[in-house]
Structure 1
Amino acid sequence: ELVLYISVWPLPGANEIAIGDRLYVMIDEINTTLPQGLSITDGFDGTLYMRDALREIFITLIETVVLVGLVVLVMMGSFRAALVPLITIPISLLGAVAAMTLMGFTLNLLTVLAIVLSVGLVVDDAIVVVENVSRYMREGMSRIEAALASSRQLLAPIISMTVTLAAVYLPIGLLSGLTGALFKEFAFTLAIAVLISGIVAVTLSPIMSAYASPEGGKEGKFTLRVNAVFASLQERYGRIVESSINYKAQILCMAVFLSLLTVPFYLLSLKELAPTEDESSITVIVESSPEASLDYTTEQMDDVVSTMLELGGAKFMWQVVNPTGAFGGVDFVPLSEREEGVQDMFWKAFGELSSVDGIKAFPVLGSALPTAGNFSVELVVMSSDPYEEMMSYANQMVAAANASQKFLFASTDLKLDLPQARFVLDRERIADLGLDLANVSRQLGTLLSGNFVNRYNQDGRAYRVIPMIASGQRDNPEALLDLQIRTPSGDLIPLRAIATLRTETAPRFLSKFAQKNAFRIYGEVIPGTTKEQGLSALEDAAAQILPAHYSIDYAGESRQIRLEGNTLEGVLVIALVFVFFVLAIQFNSFRDPLVVLLGSVPLALSGAMVFAFLDFTTINIYSQVGFITLVGLIAKNGILIVEFANHMQKLGHDKLKAIRLAAQTRLRPVLMTTGATVLGHFPLVLVSGAGAEARNSIGIILVAGMLVGTAFTLLVLPSIYMVLASDHSPKELENRALRTVEGEPTAQHT
């Protein structure tokens, strides 16, 4: 069917889903007024993917809340005690939503994802509080005494844990460019939810825990069983800690070795800007011959449409056709109603389209992030050389790309195949006939240019007069030589009497980049190959093929890969430095923060990185956000243990006994918070549907990193504490005070 394609583009900051809803209503209203045979229907709706993704995220949110609730209930052994951390969830989330509203944020894919992630984070502090209060009450304290004692003991570590986790997101929120635009709202939403949960933990949670926990150890049978299990675990773990100290040199060597594996794991992992999502559509880009007509290309597109509609689950195909090419796409039913994902059908589409004669049709999967490009990889080559000389290098680059086995297809926009006809005028003959060049050019322009020469009125309306020869004659340069030119004497002579025809080829497009002649090498990578791998293959080919005075740049998503792909890696380093100084202020020491970070972060990063190395995910901006979040989460475990060990030293215990008691006492809250985080984020690992790939990346990193990191933290941190931790014994504290007092007169004199 012949159609008129109307595009609707929302203004920046507008609610696209609301616009889509209103458009559907308006279309229905307009259709009732149109004559028979004329109707308006939607050919492409970009909000469908957004709607599906938001629906999937909200389903994941419900699953996360249920799983976190079950974890807390099982590990606390009491429904009343479990209510304390569970109440933190709605308070923190509602507070975060209120703050989002005040800051002008919207509920979008990333802010809702931040809310999902925060469910597994905001319960941590409350879990620590309720476990501590319950322990004090089992030891015989009253409700008020237990709440006060727990508040005094946990105030500093909760502040440290909350500020540490919120601080890792601060550098993300301050980024610029695409990454900053995408993750600013995400980072601030998570940070606000964590800060609110910390406030709840130091204000409401202690007294709520005191009244939720039974006095004097009068607990139910299930609670007693759970307590007995944890008591047994704590006793066994205490013996393991004491034994491990005897082998601290070996343990530290093992920890260093495993931590250093992060480097090869990272270097050998697949990297990309963002994982490709199943958006229930495949785009098709078509190239026709340079001299093709609109009728020819439209006719050839029928084969493309028939081929694409044979794919399973295809609903319809839309296309925009011009003489030398076309752009279109196939919309599919949702993934839940299809047997294959678009990544699997992509292979089939490429094979089928390769057999279409007359035109070249390339299937393309949509980018997961906003980009100006059309293809997976786009490399720009620049030089001051003429296009004719650049053509040979373009062909060599395309050949190298195809030989790399990274691309389904590769091509270039530099094509010297545009036929051009040039009339060479015989000046002497023109002069002999009494003509001049201006007169001849004016007559040819009237016949060929398509410009209007006058207007005439009819029935009150003005119409343009456009003289033009028949299209069949215009399309044949040889036929143009028979055009009649009028001489000053009034005679008509054929154009061939004063001109000859010269044919030549020229570039289809005169591409420029940075004010230089340029051409692009573009292509689509094979499934299983990342766009970064394809781009690296082109960069290697450019280094070998191009002369020294040629330079390269990037376009489309390739530009974002090189400009934004490693941004969050720098943010991770900044976050680590920021966390270190926050902990240094909290501990009033530069050594204790090293114990916390070295005893938890490197091994957690290594444990998470191995899953990227094994191709469970890739290194992309979403997994990098997972790594940054992991730093704050795993550091909380170290803070709990180190803070309590320092407290034990101040009570007079030696360093060995202090770390043993701290590790034993904090084992249960560490396991509980880890369990809540792991199971709370586990739905992200299993999720499918719209937007699943991005959530899978974050989920895999957090779940794997927390499991591996917690196990290594419990084993390695005590040994690091024995080697690096400051001496907090009463005698050492007294000596420090004396040194400070003795140094005062000198300082004043100076």
Structure 2
Amino acid sequence: MSWQIYSNQAGRHASDYRGTIIAWRDGAAVRLSDIADVHDGPEDIRTIGLFNGERAVPILISRQPGANIVQVVDALKAQLPALRRAMPPDIHLDVASDRTLTIRASLREVEVTLLIATLLVVLVVSLFLRSWRATLIPAAAVIASLLGTLAAMYLVGFSLDNLSLMALTVATGFVVDDAIVVVENISRHLEAGMRPLQAALAGAREVGFTVLSISLSLVAVFVPLIFMGGIVGRLFREFALTMSIAVMISLIVSLTLTPMLAARVLRTHEREGGVMRAAGAAFDWAQARYARALDWALDNRTAVLVLLAGTVALNIFLIDIAPKGFFPQQDTGGLMGGLRADQSISFTDMQAKLIRITRIVKSDPAVATVVSFAGGSRAGGGFLFATLKNRSERPPAAEVIARLRPKLARVSGVSLFLTPVQDLQIGGRQSNSMYQYVLKADDPDTLKVAGEKLVDALRKHADVLTDVDIDQQDAGADAFVQVERDTAARLGVTMQAVDATLYDAFGQRQVANIYSGLNQYHVVMEAARRFDGSPEALGDVYVPAGTSTAAPPAAGPAAAASASGGGAGGSAIASGSAVSTAAKTMVPLGAFARWSTGSTNAAVNHSDGEPSATIAFNLPPGGSLGAAAALITRTQADLGLPAAVHGAFGGTAKVFKQSIASMPFLILAALLAIYIVLGILYESAIHPLTALSTLPSAGVGAMIALIATGGEFDIIALIGIVLLIGIVKKNAIMIIDFALEAERGGGMAPLAAVREACLLRFRPILMTTMAAALGALPLAIGFGDGAELRRPLGIAIFGGLVASQVLTLLTTPIVYLALDRFRSRKADERHLARHDPPPATGVPA
């Protein structure tokens, strides 16, 4: 037997217990060292932990829900010096992985992005208003709105994370819209010769309703997101609420702080520099070109309406052909790997292969540290976590994985499936790869055949799927011991003795606890290593049969109590048949039992009460989850699997399918919310349709931008399109408000009124669009850690705003006139119906 001493604290060694008396035989003491090999070691010897290929004990630390992860890590690092001093000099304590490094870097990049977006927005205002004084007002409005938003976030308990900071960055271009509309209208009155105070009062009064309409309709867009169900809804609720808070605070600021600053800061006449004169000339040129294009559109209304209908059709086509995804794959500086070993592999072989795999990964020049673990509850498997160097010192994580794959494939018997660590992980189903497909069947045999056929077919499509793996464990090696019960009974061997002896030899039984002053030791018993390498070791097993009545001498117990080796004050409390004072007759196992080897199910997984197998897969660089999902569904149908076999996506892939199905409803809900809000504000069912007519052009621009940049139509891009719905309708709102005012207050015809409104509001429309687009531009370019998550949002907003700016300035007045004609015709019909004489009844009057 081999006796292994395990301690939960540093202290005495195994040598201290080798002289311990464990039994008496014929009046002589039998010491532990006479019959066993005693050594120090882990309590479970069939586990291994590695750090950079060397033996280690990995310690995984997770924060409590709601705790600040940065503060937790800082507090832990502050304790490291004291912990190192308390440990023996031959034990080294190192930080293997620190996820907050990428979190801190990502937050810094978002802060830089926020600063750049603010500067670009302020620059737009300066160039269009041709006044450095006017620059101060939107800048103050942005700062006040963002500070107010941060204060509100603090009060409601929101944290600064990737999503909330992304919302603040996008909000930079939104919160300035209201201030731009107010400042531009005040500047127009100043240019007409008004004094600053009168211009501020008149300008704010004129656009007050417009600003209110823009803000409330933008908040209405976020209502479906706020009340969206499921995991995705909970994830983006904080984003939507942050945006809503920012917009409402900007509304208050634009109607209070902005006019006050304009009255104090702006001047009727201000000297212009060369840059300002050039900007003014450029705007005059652009406005003249727009006037000519507008006159052409008014003269060719049918062609413009056909163009708008084509834009709607193009939207549907682009959404259909665009690659679909869930979340953009991020490069957070970490790789997570799951290990899949041959089901019959021994722990000795698994240990050697894990060391080899760990050293292969560590040898890559992009890898900083590697932590790996195998054994324990992960029999036949394990995990690996690699921390990459700074982005400036390495290629993207996908390239690192691609160049590691052929090297790792040379290690036979074990497969490592590497995936980049993601900030946003949804699904909850564990597997060796990022996405899962779950097969179910009525019985395990049918499931085994179907799973193998489907996996073999999917592995042929390496351009769509990579790292295809299935978790069926039906080939585990076993040794089946068959006891001849009659023979065992004649020999006095009980089944309980057989079971106990086998577990003593091969089960790492804990047989005693040893207590000293501060430390506690577990005594673990098992057969010596040379006997547990193959089933032939069963031939060396002896089982106790019957007992004798030989008793130890009277001095025995006292001697055992006082003979603790080393005199360190330890005491042993033994239990089980391994420690006994009674002599037993030992019978070889082969005298009454036979054994054979074979294969068996190491584990049978179940899902919803049915036998199941999970097929896990990753995506190649540039791969689409939508294409992978379609391939799996099509392949299963083409294979003609039995009707008893059925499958469904699980984990992240399942949430992806659910989100794809809910995307049309989310967009329709946003449109309906805007229509209701604008209908209430305008007290009309017609004018909101004019505002909504601006959306198809924005959708086309967003989809073209995403496809052109190699992006996907994923959740983040969908959020960008929902934001576009709230942004682009402001162009129509400004045109509608001034056209209605010109009709009602100035007595102008609808055609003249809408033309005047388009030319008069051309400057604020151009300013607000450019401010929002440039606010999203840093997100679209994307740089630094975590930029992949933010990039689709910026691309969708920037592309949609550029396209909508070109098209809506021409389509909005045409739609306004068409709907106005429809409204007038319906009004005339109602008027005639009320004043026409009743129909004749055939009876003379």
State the TM-score, normalized to the length of structure 2.
0.82
Residue 601 of structure 1: how far off its partner (Å): 0.5
What do residues 722-745 of structure 1 show as CA deviations (whole Å, max 9, x unaligned)? 10137899xx89x99x989xxxxx
Q: In the aligned structure 1, how far is the partner of 2:614 from the partner of 2:784? A: 34
The code of the aligned residue for 1:352 comes to K
Residue 573 of structure 1: how far off its partner (Å): 1.8
Residue 165 of structure 1: how far off its partner (Å): 1.3
User: Which residue number corresponds to residue 550 of structure 2?
Assistant: none
Residue 132 of structure 1: how far off its partner (Å): 1.1
What do residues 177-209 of structure 1 show as CA deviations (whole Å, max 9, x unaligned)? 322332222211111111111112222323433
Q: In the aligned structure 2, how far is the partner of 1:707 from the partner of 1:318? A: 47
The code of the aligned residue for 1:175 comes to M
Q: In the aligned structure 1, how far is the partner of 2:504 from the partner of 2:190? A: 100
Q: Secondary structure at the match of 2:385?
A: strand
What do residues 612-637 of structure 1 show as CA deviations (whole Å, max 9, x unaligned)? 23353211221111111111110111
User: Which residue number corresponds to residue 796 of structure 2?
Assistant: 701
Residue 250 of structure 1: how far off its partner (Å): 1.3
Which residue of 528, 541, 549 maps to 1:483? 541
Residue 219 of structure 1: how far off its partner (Å): 5.3
Higher helix share goes to which structure?
1
Residue 709 of structure 1: how far off its partner (Å): 0.8
User: Which residue number corresponds to residue 363 of structure 1?
Assistant: 418
Q: Secondary structure at the match of 1:141?
A: coil
Q: Tell whether the 8 Å contact from 2:435 to 2:618 is kept in structure 1 after alignment.
A: yes
Matched, 1:721 2:816: yes
The alpha-carbon distance between structure 1 residues 564 and 27, as it changes in their structure 2 partners (threshold 3 A), is farther
Residue 498 of structure 1: how far off its partner (Å): 1.7
Matched, 1:474 2:474: no
Residue 478 of structure 1: how far off its partner (Å): 2.7
Q: In the aligned structure 1, how far is the partner of 2:85 from the partner of 2:817? A: 80
User: Which residue number corresponds to residue 688 of structure 1?
Assistant: 783
The alpha-carbon distance between structure 1 residues 580 and 457, as it changes in their structure 2 partners (threshold 3 A), is closer
What do residues 91-139 of structure 1 show as CA deviations (whole Å, max 9, x unaligned)? 1001101110110111122111111111111111111111111212222
Matched, 1:335 2:391: yes
Q: Tell whether the 8 Å contact from 2:118 to 2:775 is kept in structure 1 after alignment.
A: yes
Q: In the aligned structure 2, how far is the partner of 1:312 from the partner of 1:467? A: 44
User: Which residue number corresponds to residue 519 of structure 1?
Assistant: 613
Unaligned runs of 5+ in 1: 741-750
Q: In the aligned structure 1, how far is the partner of 2:172 from the partner of 2:205? A: 26
**Which range moves more in the overlay, 325-334 or 700-709?**
325-334
User: Which residue number corresponds to residue 346 of structure 1?
Assistant: 401
Q: In the aligned structure 1, how far is the partner of 2:517 from the partner of 2:780? A: 70
Residue 446 of structure 1: how far off its partner (Å): 4.6
**Which range moves more in the overlay, 104-113 or 367-376?**
367-376
Residue 715 of structure 1: how far off its partner (Å): 1.3
Matched, 1:530 2:588: no
The code of the aligned residue for 2:313 comes to L
Q: In the aligned structure 2, how far is the partner of 1:308 from the partner of 1:419? A: 29
The alpha-carbon distance between structure 1 residues 488 and 711, as it changes in their structure 2 partners (threshold 3 A), is same
Matched, 1:503 2:594: no
**Which range moves more in the overlay, 137-146 or 518-527?**
137-146
The code of the aligned residue for 1:68 comes to V
Q: Tell whether the 8 Å contact from 2:336 to 2:421 is kept in structure 1 after alignment.
A: yes
Q: Secondary structure at the match of 1:169?
A: helix
Q: Tell whether the 8 Å contact from 1:270 to 1:612 is kept in structure 2 after alignment.
A: no
What do residues 509-540 of structure 1 show as CA deviations (whole Å, max 9, x unaligned)? 22111111111111222212123322332222
User: Which residue number corresponds to residue 730 of structure 2?
Assistant: 636
Matched, 1:376 2:434: yes
The code of the aligned residue for 1:47 comes to T
Which residue of 764, 767, 772 maps to 1:669? 764
Q: In the aligned structure 1, how far is the partner of 2:822 from the partner of 2:265? A: 37
The code of the aligned residue for 1:56 comes to E
Q: Secondary structure at the match of 1:504?
A: strand
**Which range moves more in the overlay, 340-349 or 433-442?**
433-442
User: Which residue number corresponds to residue 220 of structure 1?
Assistant: 272
CA RMSD of aligned residues (A): 2.6
Superposed, 1:178-577 pairs within 5 Å as 178-215=231-268, 220=272, 226-322=279-375, 324-338=380-394, 340-371=395-426, 372=428, 373=430, 374-385=432-443, 387-405=444-462, 406-433=464-491, 435-452=493-510, 467-488=525-546, 492-545=586-639, 546-577=641-672
Q: Tell whether the 8 Å contact from 2:141 to 2:253 is kept in structure 1 after alignment.
A: yes
Superposed, 1:595-610 pairs within 5 Å as 595-598=690-693, 600-610=694-704
The alpha-carbon distance between structure 1 residues 470 and 629, as it changes in their structure 2 partners (threshold 3 A), is same
Q: Secondary structure at the match of 1:319?
A: strand
Q: How many residues align?
A: 732
Q: Tell whether the 8 Å contact from 1:178 to 1:564 is kept in structure 2 after alignment.
A: no
Q: In the aligned structure 2, how far is the partner of 1:553 from the partner of 1:579? A: 36
Q: In the aligned structure 1, how far is the partner of 2:437 from the partner of 2:520? A: 50
The code of the aligned residue for 1:484 comes to Y
Matched, 1:25 2:78: yes
The code of the aligned residue for 1:220 comes to E
Residue 394 of structure 1: how far off its partner (Å): 1.0
The code of the aligned residue for 1:270 comes to P
The alpha-carbon distance between structure 1 residues 446 and 695, as it changes in their structure 2 partners (threshold 3 A), is closer
Q: In the aligned structure 1, how far is the partner of 2:675 from the partner of 2:486? A: 87
Q: Secondary structure at the match of 1:351?
A: helix
Q: In the aligned structure 2, how far is the partner of 1:367 from the partner of 1:414? A: 26
Q: Tell whether the 8 Å contact from 1:287 to 1:324 is kept in structure 2 after alignment.
A: yes
Residue 230 of structure 1: how far off its partner (Å): 3.3
Unaligned runs of 5+ in 2: 1-53, 548-583, 836-845
Residue 439 of structure 1: how far off its partner (Å): 4.9
Q: Tell whether the 8 Å contact from 1:645 to 1:662 is kept in structure 2 after alignment.
A: yes
User: Which residue number corresponds to residue 743 of structure 1?
Assistant: none
Q: Tell whether the 8 Å contact from 1:649 to 1:728 is kept in structure 2 after alignment.
A: no
What do residues 401-441 of structure 1 show as CA deviations (whole Å, max 9, x unaligned)? 11233223312111322011111222333344455544544
Q: In the aligned structure 1, how far is the partner of 2:91 from the partner of 2:664? A: 54
Q: In the aligned structure 1, how far is the partner of 2:542 from the partner of 2:198? A: 110
What do residues 470-528 of structure 1 show as CA deviations (whole Å, max 9, x unaligned)? 23323322330342234449764432222221322112322111111111111222212
Q: Tell whether the 8 Å contact from 1:280 to 1:335 is kept in structure 2 after alignment.
A: yes
Q: Tell whether the 8 Å contact from 2:343 to 2:473 is kept in structure 1 after alignment.
A: no
Q: Secondary structure at the match of 2:55?
A: coil
- Percent identity of the aligned residues? 27
The code of the aligned residue for 1:166 comes to V
**Which range moves more in the overlay, 117-126 or 198-207?**
198-207
Q: Secondary structure at the match of 1:32?
A: helix
Which residue of 740, 746, 751 maps to 1:646? 740
The code of the aligned residue for 1:707 comes to V
Q: Secondary structure at the match of 1:547?
A: coil
Which residue of 747, 750, 760 maps to 1:655? 750
Residue 13 of structure 1: how far off its partner (Å): 0.9
Matched, 1:67 2:117: no
Q: Tell whether the 8 Å contact from 2:465 to 2:628 is kept in structure 1 after alignment.
A: yes
Superposed, 1:65-214 pairs within 5 Å as 65-214=118-267
The alpha-carbon distance between structure 1 residues 210 and 470, as it changes in their structure 2 partners (threshold 3 A), is same
What do residues 638-686 of structure 1 show as CA deviations (whole Å, max 9, x unaligned)? 1111111111111211111011001100111111111111122211122
Q: In the aligned structure 1, how far is the partner of 2:659 from the partner of 2:800? A: 24
Q: Tell whether the 8 Å contact from 1:134 to 1:210 is kept in structure 2 after alignment.
A: no
The code of the aligned residue for 1:57 comes to V
Residue 229 of structure 1: how far off its partner (Å): 4.3
Residue 37 of structure 1: how far off its partner (Å): 2.1
Q: In the aligned structure 2, how far is the partner of 1:345 from the partner of 1:454? A: 49
Q: Secondary structure at the match of 2:118?
A: helix
Q: Secondary structure at the match of 1:261?
A: helix
Q: Which has the larger radius of gyration?
A: 2
